[in-house]
Structure 1
Amino acid sequence: MVVEDEASLAVLISSYLERDGFEVAITGDGHDALDLARQFDPDIVVLDLGLPGLDGVEVCRQLRTFSDAYVVMLTARAEEIDTVIGLSVGADDYQTKPFSPRELMARIQAMMRRPRARAAVSPGADPSEGSRQREVRAIGGLSIDIDAREVAVDDAPVSLTRTEFDVLAALSKDPGFVLSRAQLIAAVWGPSWVSDEHLVDVHIGHLRRKLGDDATLGRYVRTVRGVGYRMGTGQRGTAQ
């Protein structure tokens, strides 16, 4: 779904998406975008920040209440605050105007290569049809169900965006190892992803907030200064 009030740009983005085999819906209105998303159930939403009326930030905020679509925010303003605001309401990535449609498509293609939630195997299903033991990672009070893409802290469910979950999954794969920002980008966004590494810090900040994790203690996500991030021990009161 392309949500962009500049008609010529919306058509251009749509043409590139259709060329890659996507079915595309276009709107230039924020209210219509929410109605359309409920009907269309998109996998990807290309969302302009500066929409008239209901702006892109509010559209994204409301979209996140019923959709787990990947969201790429488009903004004509390069200030850091715009990026932080856009990502804080659940956008997965951002693109500053003017931009190359090919670069936008490369980001979208990288997103679509990322895994989605797997359907659970029903009781009595044929084991030959994909039944296997589920992978659940436990770190202190933090539980990460990799197959169901579900997270809980002290048995309380935590709602994460796809990108936040993927960051957490990458860190928890080898809890004792430090991952640099470049390594996290390669693991989550893909090796072909092109942008500044600040995006990682923003998503880490949102992830910590949702997990109730104090950055100065690093109970679950610990900063290794000058290097990157790794998982904490899950214990309360642990110094960073």
Structure 2
Amino acid sequence: MPVSVLLVEDDEVIRRSVALALERYGYGVTTAEDGLTGLELFREGRYDLLLLDVMLPGLDGIGLCRRIRETSTDPVLMMSARGDALDVVSGLEAGADDYVVKPVDTSVLVARIRSLLRRTTFRPDPAPDPPPDTAPDGPAPLVFGDLSIDTGGLEVFRAGRPVALAPTELRLLLEFAAHPGIVLERQTLLRNVWDYGWDGDSRVVDLCVQRLRKKIGAERIETVRGFGYKLRR
């Protein structure tokens, strides 16, 4: 089955051109021209990715993203006509995984979509066969204070309670957990978590770290000024 995309864009020319371009790449595209219709379609269907314009009538893209995040961790890619800092920050704070600035070249848009889909599809490495007398319980969880990470089941617990993380937030946490106590630069995180083969906007990292801190504890991830972030042991 083709990858399904929900495209919410109020400009008819842009909406039709983006939909046709994505369909040429083999995506199945459902479109909406305003935020409320987009929210209704989201609730009625199942989509692999949501592509939302920031400026929408009725319910804007920021509000729509927030409503989606109330019930879903589906990957969200925001589109901004201006690329203004306020638009970008607002979209990422609302829970978007990434953003593109319009007008965007089709090949760039498809590359960002593919990158987002790759990092939201987890394929843990298979565990080696256990010794004959050992029960196949899987890898031991990673524990950092009251934070426990089940790398096999891709579940996170804080003080014994499950923590709901969006896919990009989970990938970011797993990257930190793989290098506890080691400072990771923003560009390193963009390459390893966001799958960027080029220099990206470090605000994406900063805002995702901010969201992650709210869920696992602000003290757990330390800012090392001028360098990046590290997970406290």
Question: TM-score surpassing 0.5?
Answer: yes
After superposition, residues 121-132 of structure 1 pair within 5 angstroms as none
Secondary structure class of the residue paired with 1:226: coil
Identity of aligned residues (%): 38
1:124 match: none
What amino acid is aligned across from residue 81 of structure 1 in structure 2? L
Secondary structure class of the residue paired with 2:29: coil
Provide the rounded CA distance (Å) in 2 between the counterparts of 1:146 and 1:34. 32
Q: Does 1:37 align with 2:16?
A: no
Match 1:64 to one of 69, 72, 93: 69
Cα offset, 1:115, TM superposition:
4.8
Q: Do 2:119 and 2:167's aligned partners in 1 also have CA atoms closer than 8 Å?
A: no
Secondary structure class of the residue paired with 1:32: helix
User: What residue ranges of structure 1 are gaps of 5+ in the alignment?
Assistant: 120-130, 214-218, 234-240
Q: Do 1:106 and 1:193's aligned partners in 2 also have CA atoms closer than 8 Å?
A: no
Cα offset, 1:190, TM superposition:
0.9
What amino acid is aligned across from residue 232 of structure 1 in structure 2? R
Cα offset, 1:137, TM superposition:
1.5
Cα offset, 1:181, TM superposition:
0.7
Q: 1:158 to 1:91 in 2, by over 3 A?
A: same
What amino acid is aligned across from residue 34 of structure 1 in structure 2? L
1:126 match: none
1:237 match: none
Q: Does 1:167 align with 2:176?
A: no
Q: Do 1:3 and 1:47's aligned partners in 2 also have CA atoms closer than 8 Å?
A: yes
Secondary structure class of the residue paired with 2:226: coil
2:204 match: 199
1:152 match: 157
Q: Does 1:220 align with 2:220?
A: yes
Match 2:60 to one of 36, 55, 58: 55
Cα RMSD (Å) of the superposition?
2.0
Query: What is the CA deviation profile of residues 6-45 of structure 1, one whole-angstrom value per residue up to 9, with x for unaligned ones?
Result: 1111122212222222111011121111121123211111
Query: How many pairs does the alignment contain?
Result: 217
Q: With the length of structure 1 as denominator, give the TM-score of the two structures.
A: 0.83
Secondary structure class of the residue paired with 1:24: strand
Provide the rounded CA distance (Å) in 1 between the counterparts of 2:208 and 2:163. 15
Provide the rounded CA distance (Å) in 2 between the counterparts of 1:69 and 1:101. 22
Provide the rounded CA distance (Å) in 1 between the counterparts of 2:194 and 2:74. 15
Secondary structure class of the residue paired with 2:110: helix
Q: 1:69 to 1:193 in 2, by over 3 A?
A: farther
Q: Do 2:187 and 2:199's aligned partners in 1 also have CA atoms closer than 8 Å?
A: no
Cα offset, 1:194, TM superposition:
5.0
Q: Do 1:5 and 1:28's aligned partners in 2 also have CA atoms closer than 8 Å?
A: yes
Cα offset, 1:77, TM superposition:
3.1
Provide the rounded CA distance (Å) in 2 between the counterparts of 1:135 and 1:98. 47
